[in-house]
Amino acid sequence: AQSVTQPDIHITVSEGASLELRCNYSYGATPYLFWYVQSPGQGLQLLLKYFSGDTLVQGIKGFEAEFKRSQSSFNLRKPSVHWSDAAEYFCAVGMGAGNMLTFGGGTRLMVKP
């Protein structure tokens, strides 16, 4: 069975600083990988996804993520964080079209002024 680990439960960064959120997955085949963001009281919004091809994927709101098969990782990055980025971020792995997603436990991002 697939699994996802987000090692950092909480991260605090200063506004304008760079950000990297870690995600490691366990899956036997080539995974479908996702990052979602959840603001308080809201549903999950898709930031970006990886299925195949270029291992560096661009998403909305200036986020990007890099798939590294050798490290089983799919870390999320942003060069300059804005206060509005404060939220909970979830990494997820899927087995293919129409199948369930397995989520990590999430990383809560706080942004200092």
Partner 1 sequence: EAGVVQSPRYKIIEKKQPVAFWCNPISGHNTLYWYLQNLGQGPELLIRYENEEAVDDSQLPKDRFSAERLKGVDSTLKIQPAELGDSAVYLCASSSLNEGSDTQYFGPGTRLTVL
CB of residue 16 to partner 1, shortest distance in Å: 28
CB of residue 12 to partner 1, shortest distance in Å: 17
Neighbours of 13 (CB within 10 A): 18
Question: Of these, 28, 53, 98, 113, which contacts partner 1 (CB under 8 A)?
Answer: 98
d(CA 76, CA 27): 19
Question: Of these, 11, 19, 51, 66, which contacts partner 1 (CB under 8 A)?
Answer: 51
Whose CA is closest to 75, among 22, 32, 31, 25?
Answer: 22
CB 19 within 8 A of CB 110: no
Residues that bind partner 1 (CB under 8 A): 4, 32, 34, 36, 41-46, 49, 51, 90, 92, 94-101, 103-106
